[in-house]
Structure 1
């Protein structure tokens, strides 16, 4: 079994308490766990994949007023949270890609990478559980159903968070029971 770790939107704008779209205390609480996951995958020489929002003010979700400006191209808020950045620094197995939508599988190299590298178990950590994590779970589910029946998806309960606790729990339930992700 070839495993990889997927980090979703663990940028300063989502994690830092003063971030433009912070998850607040819930986001802060997952960082030690996610850092331990990164250290484990690094020790084992496994891939660590980091996909974060990369927006311009003209992008739909900002222009339409769905969310305030966040993770703007070239701003400090788009950067990986400091403790996590220190954990991946210099690691050859670390790969990062930008995304424009909630779903980290949409118009990113993620699915091609998983197929090319023969990844059969993908561990998921990140924010927001009820927005980008569940949307990515749906993209991974579609890929599993149509092309990769062998792909296992493990969402780490201690490694995901949202600014909405009720929606967080609903998303975990949805991923477990509808998208058939393993919640670990």
Structure 2
């Protein structure tokens, strides 16, 4: 039988989810669990993909002050004054430690309009209006342009944005890898369940070794 789910190193890209300051700062009401412990591995994955010249796509959120584009579960809070992920604010920017250059700033209005912002040679940012990276975005078109078949996924908020993005990618027949030690707030049980979708798990070390063509064990 043909193996349709085999990872393709030559056609791989890294997808990051919600790596924004408001999800990481200590005093934030939407701080993601496990950010501190996972940040070094997330940073290593991103740097490894840059060094390999592979595409990187960052999915980010913005909340308009009037709440008009906010998820229903948070819309009331934003309407009543919750100020997080506001377009143009520092809280909505990418983590400083993962930027390709300290001078990178997000063009919120262009992103909200659905454009891809190129922040380095093969590195892009896009706005996602809901949890998943594919819903209402140009991500799939960009991946097709880049001839990507395999996605390595890392990021914050595993129970919401990261897991939704994995399911959406699987539904579109992408071969998917989750950085098992490079996602925030993911339980062992939740990660194991992804195996039923044919999703692979790799530690950061194993993923970077695989990216370089070295033999390493993986777990599906």
Gaps of 5+ in 2: 1-9, 105-118, 203-220
- CA gap of 1:55–1:27, structure 2 versus 1, over 3 A, is same
Distance 1:34 1:114 in 2: 21
**Does the CA contact (< 8 Å) of 2:100 and 2:120 recur in 1?**
no
RMSD: 2.1
Residue 155 of structure 1 is aligned with which of 169, 178, 191? 178
Residue 94 of structure 1 is aligned with which of 123, 146, 149? 123
**Does the CA contact (< 8 Å) of 1:7 and 1:50 recur in 2?**
yes
- Largest Rg, 1 or 2: 2
- CA gap of 1:61–1:74, structure 2 versus 1, over 3 A, is farther
**Does the CA contact (< 8 Å) of 1:39 and 1:87 recur in 2?**
no
Distance 2:17 2:94 in 1: 10
Distance 1:154 1:38 in 2: 14
Distance 1:171 1:65 in 2: 28
Matched residues, number? 171
1:44 aligns with 2:58: no
Q: TM-score, normalised by structure 2?
A: 0.71
1:56 aligns with 2:64: yes
Q: TM-score, normalised by structure 1?
A: 0.83
**Does the CA contact (< 8 Å) of 1:50 and 1:97 recur in 2?**
yes
Q: How do 1:124-135 residues align onto structure 2 when only pairs under 5 Å count?
A: 124-135=153-164
- CA gap of 1:31–1:159, structure 2 versus 1, over 3 A, is same
**Does the CA contact (< 8 Å) of 1:31 and 1:84 recur in 2?**
no
Distance 2:120 2:143 in 1: 19
TM-aligned CA deviation for residue 69 of structure 1: 4.8
